[in-house]
Amino acid sequence: MGRSPGATVSVMTSTRYRLTQYAHGGGCACKIPPGELETIVQGLAGVDSPDVLVGLDTGDDAAVVRIQDGIAVVATADFFTPVVDDAYDWGRIAAANALSDVYAMGGRPVVAVNLVGWPRDVLPVELLREVLRGGLDIAREAGCVVGGGHSIDDPEPKYGMAVTGIADPDRLMRNDAAEPGLPISLTKPLGVGVLNNRHKATGEVFAQAVDCMVGLNREASEAALAAGVRAATDVTGFGLLGHLYKMARASGVTAVVDSASVPYVDGARQAVADGYVSGGTRRNLDWVRPHLSAGVDDDELILLADAQTSGGLLVVGEVPGARVIGRTVARRDAAIVVR
């Protein structure tokens, strides 16, 4: 072709390499299953101090520690294997997902560092550069500084960020603060998990799903704070049902989900019907089922349990622009009722 090898690589990278084929699992669906994780960390405790506002015990989105009157530090990390083939999009998705846990607590991200695993013998470093460029673009959009990070040679590509933010300690959105008698709101449609799984299997690209995943939860978080919301989390690998269960359990309420009002990305329902359901999603449903009273069939429950990557905020309260998908009520036998 008469080009230098470097130029050939940069022209070919976006088409020749399907990044999802280098991953054993996909995105937040490659999380360690929720029940297993809780067993692992059970009984492990860190520093016990009144300034630890959110620690390990309630399984919240991030750790929050008060550092002085009126200021708390919010710390979180998230990384995963490729969820899409395109390197730049994967970088954007992983960054938006990592930043999301700060927004889910009601915080503002301030500084992040990259976390990278890269099979340098197998994949060109130009592709890694695209991943990092995607991450930087999203961090810039969030007004969050990215300062270096850590990278290792790894047989499987992995990317994410450790993010540090700040929050007002008196205005945190916690997963254990849901009150009964409030609407439950969801700020992004569900279904990106099953579409990512289909993308991995077939190479079909789902632009609406990508748009959802690269979207920051900043506006949703600010709107929720402005509305006086006290309880929120983000919907990621454990799916809507998993994260809602964690919230209902930690708060001692029951969540009633009106399944007909839950929004989905185009094609999600068809992808479930066509069998592109991940093992992670099935494990989510298995985990929640003993705490669930369901008046809908299993296909509907699978959609509600779909392992999300960079999903929206799940808010107990009303948020302008977000879909109301149910209501909290005083605790009943089941932590979640789906009708």
The set of catalytic residues is 28
Q: Which is nearer to Co ion, 124 or 239 (CB)?
A: 239
Closest among 164, 148, 139, 144 to 116, alpha carbons compared? 148
Backbone φ, ψ for residue 204 (5° rounding): -60, 140
Q: Is 61 in the site for Co ion (CB under 5 A)?
A: yes
Q: Which is nearer to Co ion, 78 or 85 (CB)?
A: 78
Positions of E strands within the chain? 52-54, 63-68, 71-80, 108-118, 145-153, 158-167, 183-186, 231-234, 253-257, 292-294, 313-316, 323-330, 336-338
Q: Which is nearer to Co ion, 78 or 89 (CB)?
A: 78
Query: Minimum distance between the CB of residue 161 and Co ion, rounded to whole angstroms?
Result: 11
**Region 101-120 residues binding Co ion, contact defined as CB under 5 A:** 101
Q: How does strand 253-257 pair with strand 108-118? A: unpaired
Q: Which residues contact 175 (CB under 8 A, 6 or more apart)?
A: 58, 59, 60, 61, 231, 232, 233, 243, 246, 247, 250, 251
Q: Which is nearer to Co ion, 99 or 132 (CB)?
A: 99
Q: Which is nearer to Co ion, 86 or 234 (CB)?
A: 234
d(CA 62, CA 48): 16
Q: Which two tokens stand for residue 112?
A: 């992040």
Q: Is 176 in the site for Co ion (CB under 5 A)?
A: no
Contact stretch for Co ion (CB under 5 A) within 17-25, 29-37, 78-86, 140-148: 78-86
d(CA 332, CA 221): 29
Q: How does strand 231-234 pair with strand 183-186? A: unpaired
Query: Minimum distance between the CB of residue 105 and Co ion, rounded to whole angstroms?
Result: 9
d(CA 78, CA 99): 9
d(CA 263, CA 70): 37
What is the residue type of 206?
A: F
Query: Minimum distance between the CB of residue 222 and Co ion, rounded to whole angstroms?
Result: 17
Query: Minimum distance between the CB of residue 246 and Co ion, rounded to whole angstroms?
Result: 10
Axis-axis angle for helices 87-104, 207-214 (nearest 10): 40
d(CA 26, CA 196): 8
Query: Minimum distance between the CB of residue 31 and Co ion, rounded to whole angstroms?
Result: 8
SS3 195: helix
Per-residue binder mask for Co ion (CB under 5 A), 228-257, x = binder? ------x-----------------------
d(CA 309, CA 268): 14
Query: Minimum distance between the CB of residue 277 and Co ion, rounded to whole angstroms?
Result: 22
**Region 263-302 residues binding Co ion, contact defined as CB under 5 A:** none
Q: Which is nearer to Co ion, 61 or 89 (CB)?
A: 61
Closest among 328, 326, 288 to 305, alpha carbons compared? 288
Query: Minimum distance between the CB of residue 32 and Co ion, rounded to whole angstroms?
Result: 12
Taking CB atoms, the residue at the shortest distance from Co ion is 61
Contact stretch for Co ion (CB under 5 A) within 96-104, 172-180, 295-303, 321-329: 96-104
Q: Which is nearer to Co ion, 232 or 303 (CB)?
A: 232
Contact stretch for Co ion (CB under 5 A) within 34-42, 94-102, 170-178, 200-208: 94-102
Q: Is 78 in the site for Co ion (CB under 5 A)?
A: yes
**Region 178-217 residues binding Co ion, contact defined as CB under 5 A:** none
Contact stretch for Co ion (CB under 5 A) within 64-72, 74-82, 260-268, 321-329: 74-82
DSSP 178: P
Contact stretch for Co ion (CB under 5 A) within 11-19, 40-48, 147-155, 226-234: 226-234
Interface positions with Co ion (CB under 5 A) = 61, 78, 101, 234
